[in-house]
Structure 1
Amino acid sequence: MEIMKEKLSDAIKIQEKSIVSRQIIKKPSGNITLFAFDKDESLTEHTSPYEALVQIVKGRMTVTIGGNTFQVEEGEIILLPPNIPHGLVALEQTVMLLTMIK
């Protein structure tokens, strides 16, 4: 068993004009992935068959779910329901933790 103790905001580096990801856990039952977005970087609208939880570690994002837009800020979470189109845009440099449950 590997033990990891790290401050999430320091566990990944934001790169200019990029989205960077770091997989923390990958299991048959789900994944936890840390993302770093430069300002204005985005994940275009897509769907997933799995439920997902987005937690903003640092920064702010606009999250669109099924045509509804939400601003999610540092320390906040938002649930992405399965099979509903969603997309994300970083309003500033942002670190986001994505937990996907299969």
Structure 2
Amino acid sequence: MNTYPYIKNIEHEKVLKIADQVNADAGQVVSKTLAQNDFVSVTLFAFAKGEEIGTHDSIGDAMVTVIEGTGKFVVDGKEYILNQGETLVMPAKKPHSVHAVEAFKMMLVVIFPLEED
């Protein structure tokens, strides 16, 4: 039996505030991987105000949920402003970027295809 946790870097069987699990100081983007395999990736991010992740794409659909603050997401040239509790799906293979309008935190879930198209 595999004893390795499928969800890592976070306490199990404890009620937690997800926003408290990752923090960024000025000038930082901090990430914490909670799950990673060939099919799914779950990562928490904290962005200091003014920080960003430049334009890139993914072979999987990427779903972001803002858990604190406000972030700007640019998907295939279109801007979206997301506030706490809001979610956006960025389709696979579309270029996208992430910008911290103010300090914010998000959870990113990427679902990868069974086979690359």
| TM-score bucket (shorter structure) | over 0.9
CA RMSD of aligned residues (A): 1.2
Looking at structure 1, the residues matched to 27 and 108 of structure 2 have their Cα atoms a distance apart, in angstroms, of 20
5+ residue gaps, structure 1, are none
CA–CA distance in structure 2, aligned partners of residues 4 and 38 of structure 1? 30
The aligned residue for residue 27 of structure 2 is 17
Higher RCO (C-alpha under 8 Å, 6+ residues apart): 1
Aligned residues with identical type, % of pairs: 27
In terms of fraction of residues, the more strand-rich structure is: 1
TM-score using structure 1 length: 0.94
- Taking structure 2 as the reference length, the TM-score comes to 0.82
1:75 equivalent to 2:85? Answer yes
Q: What stretches of structure 1 move > 3 A for 4+ residues in a row?
A: none
Segments of 5+ residues of structure 2 without an aligned counterpart are: 6-11, 113-117
How many matched pairs? 102
Q: State the structure with more CA Rg.
A: 2
Secondary structure of the 2:19 match is helix
